[in-house]
Amino acid sequence: MSESLSLALHHAAHVLTKVEAGQALPAALADVFNRHTLSPASRGAIQDISYRSMRRWACAHALMSLLASKPPSPARLSALICCALALLSDDTPPYTEHTLVDQAVEACAQDPELSRAKGMVNAVLRRFLRERDSLMHTVLRDDEARLNYPRWWIEAMRRAWPQQAEAVLEAGNREPPLTLRVNTRKTNAEAYLAQLAAAGVVATRIGDYAIRLKRAVPVTKIPGFAEGLVSVQDAAAQLAAPLLQVEEGMRVLDACAAPGGKTGHLLELANCDVLALDHDAQRLNRVSDNLKRLSLHAKLQAGDARSRDWWDGQPYDRILADLPCTASGIVRRHPDIRWLRRPEDSQQLAKRSAEILDNLWGMLRPGGLLLIVTCSVWPEESELQAQAFVHRQNAERLEAPGQLLPQADDTSDHDGLFYALLRKPAL
């Protein structure tokens, strides 16, 4: 099969079949990329199709149920048709309609297991083009297909944020921007904006350290990235390190640190003695790579934040607790999350996070600060978690942003994160 749109659709169908079986989208993409020799352009097309399809997965399945007399089999055939329908039903499709139909049929024809169904694929997709208006009118009457989330997720969002629910859900279906964090040890925001302008890159400053590119590009094409002038980090995530008010020489624990964005930011702000902890030793390799690129150093430690097996017994001045959560605030970056999570996950993760917080609190010196961070919009993982912890530990709650809901406009563009800053009472 030549390197074409048909090839990209073929592999995207494999990827989305894996996601439907329970694998995370990045891991499914990595599996496909590792097993096949593909050009950078083909990899980019496969990734783009996969992400676009995930953001319209419920709509695509609803359309397929109207267009096919029974669920197509095998699963990869269903995924191929849904990929095509997701792209065709998009308000801004990345390909012309007839090109997409022809290439979807070609992808089917070139697959030995699916070639028998090429006529059916052609008929289904061409019928969609003929009857688009009536079909879309029908499927969009259903909230799940209109909003492209599981029904339980939509209901939970409406309970948690009745006034903002529709806007938050809609924000999760947008393609996220590429936001950079300026490394103030090597440059500053104004100087870096000038460097981007000189390179012909259009960008906007949206925070103290945050710069949003008008058009996303590979990191290899970002001026100064390899030299550590900037890192990729969402604008809301860039609030964490400054909130901790780190000073020279402080002992700082970054719990649940991988991939190391906040670790690097802490060290950019002050010469601290930082321990980056993560339960997954493999993920610490990414922390190491990021710090090396930034010319910074931290101690790396694999360990469970619920235990003290790894702790040297010396208290920390600052602790950053980036807690495990459902990641419901970053679905625009990880559109598969909504399909992989289950309603009970939030309570289970909140229980685990409470154990982490209670354990870390014992490692904080009196008068020290602990910052709770989650990339969730569910109250049980964020605000209710913070309230319960304050009550349990008699912690002093300081000023912090609280719940930030996903937002995208000319002056503010960020994911959904939660912050609570706590001080441990002095002895």
Neighbours of 232 (CB within 10 A): 16
| Beta carbons within 8 Å of 307's beta carbon, 6+ residues apart | 359
Give Cα 219 to chain centroid, integer Å.
17
* Secondary structure (3-state) at 426: coil
Q: Are strands 417-423 and 364-374 parallel, antiparallel or unpaired?
A: antiparallel
| Beta carbons within 8 Å of 37's beta carbon, 6+ residues apart | none
Q: Is 375 a catalytic residue?
A: yes
Query: With 0-12 CB in 10 A as exposed, 13-18 as middle and 19+ as buried, what is 117?
Result: buried
The beta strands (E) that lie in 206-250 are given as: 210-213, 230-232
**Cα 139 to Cα 130: distance, rounded to the nearest angstrom:** 16
Look at the block and give the residue holding tokens 């390899």. Answer: 226
DSSP 41-108: HHHHHHHHHHHHHHHTHHHHHHHHHHHSSS--SSHHHHHHHHHHHHHHTSSS-SS-HHHHHHHHHHHH
| Beta carbons within 8 Å of 369's beta carbon, 6+ residues apart | 244, 245, 317, 318, 319, 398, 421, 422, 423, 424
Q: Which of 59, 82, 325, 375 is catalytic?
A: 375
Which helix (H) or strand (E) element contains residue 179?
A: strand 178-182
**Cα 352 to Cα 325: distance, rounded to the nearest angstrom:** 9
Residues annotated as catalytic are 375
